[in-house]
Amino acid sequence: MGDQKDTLTVTDNRTGQTYELPIEDGAIRSMDLRQIKVSDDDFGLLAYDPAFKNTANVRSEITYIDGDAGILRYRGYPIEQLAGSSTFLEVAYLLIHGELPTQEDYDRWVFDITHHTFIHENIKKFIDGFHHDAHPMGILVSSVGALSTFYPEAKGIDDPDTRQQQIIRLIAKFPTLAAFAYRHSIGMKYAYPDNDLSFAGNFLNMMWKTTELKYEPDPVLERAMDVLLILHADHEQNCSTTTMRTIGSSDADPYSAAAGATAALYGPKHGGANEAVLRMLEEIGTADQVPEYVEKAKNGEFRLMGFGHRVYKNYDPRATIVRDLAHEVFEVTGKNALLDIAVELENIALEDEYFAERKLYPNVDFYSGIIYQAMGFPTSMFPVLFAMGRIPGWLAHWQENLLDEEQAIVRPRQLFVGAGERDYAPVEDRG
């Protein structure tokens, strides 16, 4: 073992030639495959990987996931510790800067974000231009992108101070845009930010304030909102984060990149999972119906939503946190009948060998939708809440990508399988 080399020996059976490829951090470089050719004019071997299921295109220090062991860490800190002891803004600082802040740094960070929550009045007019029943996520995508026109200096991405300013603005203004999108969609007057409230409390204020002079968020719901944002703050190279990095690789400003990432999250396969869980629980109807639906699922007649994950092959560590959080929220909001169904479904599924063999465990979406519903959020706001939590993770990856000297503008290869050269024929001669 002492003589073991960190290399991969590959024999090309087309030519009989052998190649030795270095292995670093458990990976080979795809560019090393280019030396494998059948002739001098051969382009070289490519790796074909639809949906990038087994391709790493970045080196990242931000988030670590061990799907088999059910581990999630931000900058080395277990998600359980952060959700139990930290705040969303402290976690945002950690993701962006790489270390937890000192008290002085944290106070300055909170002050700066708190005092950048207001948006230009013209953005309100922009939002007013949407149809009265426009989806809040569609409004959010557009208004986040529109911020780039209000802050043209954001294009100076090579200046650290300019980058920091835009990062603060995006984290600060995202909840305002999210809440305004909701208020517009239901025809309510906008509620302005309140600098006396916490990040989560201020968002609840902008969502729910009506005629009261001062909105006072329930501390349990305020903390629940903060924890849910922490749980969604980053999740490695998912679809929207990859989109953020890809757009950023062209040196686009962060507002444009964040709009693209938000659009990626708009897709139901990414940002709509917790809504799908709610629809499933409503279809099941009552807890005593759960065994019947479990059998249907095992027979391929029904799909259980909120079970299994592309990354986790063990219990999603966020699911345990959000399950406990659900019970705390319902102490304030009152019991939701869907919770009984969810608990029964989880208990039966976890004891069934069918699910254990297939490593189908509850994920974070299994309980988060129930909590959001209990807090009064409509399902149309679920992906908006997801995006609001994810923005610091997106920005951390955007900045990391900019500072990585190995990175360049993203430009994947393709395997062309279309027609060969053909001669054009006038329309009258086409069969």
pLDDT above 70 (res 236): yes
Name the residue with higher pLDDT: 273 or 125: 125
DSSP string, 185-202: HTTPPPPPP-TTS-HHHH
pLDDT above 70 (res 1): no
Helix residue spans in 308-381 (DSSP H): 317-333, 337-351, 353-357, 365-375
Terminal CA-CA length for the chain: 67
Catalytic residue chosen out of the listed positions 226, 309, 316, 397: 309
Give catalytic status of residue 6 as yes or no: no
pLDDT in tens, 241-262: 999 999 999 999 999 999 999 9
Q: What is the DSSP letter of 99?
A: S
Q: Which whole-number Å values give the CA distances from 54 to 225, 269, 310, 391, in the listed order?
A: 34, 19, 12, 25
- Relative to beta strand 17-22, strand 7-12 is antiparallel
Give catalytic status of residue 365 as yes or no: yes
- The mean pLDDT value for 125-143 works out to 94
Residue 188 confidence (pLDDT): 92
Residue 415 confidence (pLDDT): 94
Under a CB-based contact definition with an 8 Å cutoff, are residues 230 and 322 in contact?
Answer: no
Residues in the chain: 431
pLDDT grade for 154, boundaries at 50, 70 and 90: very high
Catalytic residue chosen out of the listed positions 66, 112, 270, 340: 270
Question: Which two three-digit tokens encode residue 180?
Answer: 């305004």
- Per DSSP, the three-state class of 29 is coil
Question: What is the rounded CA–CA span in Å between residue 410 and residue 427?
Answer: 38
| Sheet containing 63-66: order of strands | 63-66, 71-74, 77-78
Residue 68 confidence (pLDDT): 82
pTM of the model: 0.92
Give catalytic status of residue 309 as yes or no: yes
Catalytic residue chosen out of the listed positions 232, 316, 365, 397: 365
Question: Which two three-digit tokens encode residue 169?
Answer: 């603005």
pLDDT in tens, 56-106: 999 999 999 998 888 999 999 999 999 999 999 999 999 999 999 999 999
Identity of the residue numbered 293: Y
Residue 353 confidence (pLDDT): 85
